[in-house]
Amino acid sequence: MEQLWRSPLATTRRGVVNWREHMPQSAPSQTAEDYLERIHELIEEKGYARVVDIASSLDVKQASVTSMVQKLGELGYLNYEKYRGLVLTEKGKAVATGIQQRHETLARFFSLFGLDAETQQRDIEGIEHHLSPATVETLSDLAAFFEKNPDTLKSFLKSRKSGKT
């Protein structure tokens, strides 16, 4: 299993330095973020999040989920409440909401360019944990710009099509 908290200056599998590695030790890893995001989504969808539901939706073993949930609980991101399942703390909600907003920004941006949903989802999952807040904000601003200037977006899309052989 991926290390829960990364050391400074660690690199991704491709050898590229990830901005997250320069954050304080308490910043959640990509795997921890994925769990927090999924727990948050389940709570929003069903009103609760259980280990079995998390394991099924992330396609991992229940034992892995239990281990991660225990670590996230120890670090103050969530609590287990009898009969209610997992409950995110304010700290956990803040991380999960931030991830969700980042995901939505990227989806909004990519959808402007006519990319199919499957490609968008795959690309978002591949990059969302590796973008700095400044980059996500820039993409959000760019999406807003194109939304307010549809003729510019059409011109851009047309230039892409005409440039292909």
pLDDT tens digits, 57-67: 999 999 999 99
Residue 128 clears pLDDT 80, i.e. is over it: yes
Per residue in 71-121, pLDDT tens?
A: 999 999 999 877 778 999 999 999 999 999 999 999 999 999 988 999 999
Residue 154 clears pLDDT 70, i.e. is over it: yes
The token pair at 147 is 């939304």
How far apart CA 81 and CA 87 sit, in angstroms, is: 7
For residue 44, the model assigns a pLDDT of 93
Whose tokens are 């954050």? That residue is 23
Per residue in 8-41, pLDDT tens?
A: 333 344 444 343 443 444 678 888 999 999 999 9
Report how far apart, in Å, the C-alpha atoms of 153 and of each of 139, 148, 150, 165 are: 14, 9, 5, 21
Residue 55 clears pLDDT 60, i.e. is over it: yes
Residue 5 clears pLDDT 80, i.e. is over it: no
In terms of C-beta density within 10 A (0-12 exposed, 13-18 middle, 19 or more buried), how is residue 115 classed? Answer: middle
For residue 126, the model assigns a pLDDT of 87
SS3 content of the chain, % helix, strand, coil (to 5): 65, 5, 30
Radius of gyration of the chain, Cα coordinates, nearest whole angstrom: 18
Report how far apart, in Å, the C-alpha atoms of 72 and of each of 8, 48, 92, 99, 134 are: 20, 17, 9, 16, 26
For 63, half-sphere exposure in the C-beta direction (CA atoms, 13 angstrom radius) is 1
pTM of the entire predicted model: 0.72
User: How many of the other CB atoms lie within 10 Å of CB of 136?
Assistant: 18
For residue 7, the model assigns a pLDDT of 33
For residue 82, the model assigns a pLDDT of 75
For residue 137, the model assigns a pLDDT of 95
For residue 89, the model assigns a pLDDT of 95
Query: What is the phi/psi pair of residue 99, to 5°?
Result: -65, -45
For residue 38, the model assigns a pLDDT of 94
How far apart CA 126 and CA 133 sit, in angstroms, is: 16
Nearest to 133 by CA among 125, 141, 121: 141
Whose tokens are 């803040």? That residue is 94
For residue 10, the model assigns a pLDDT of 39
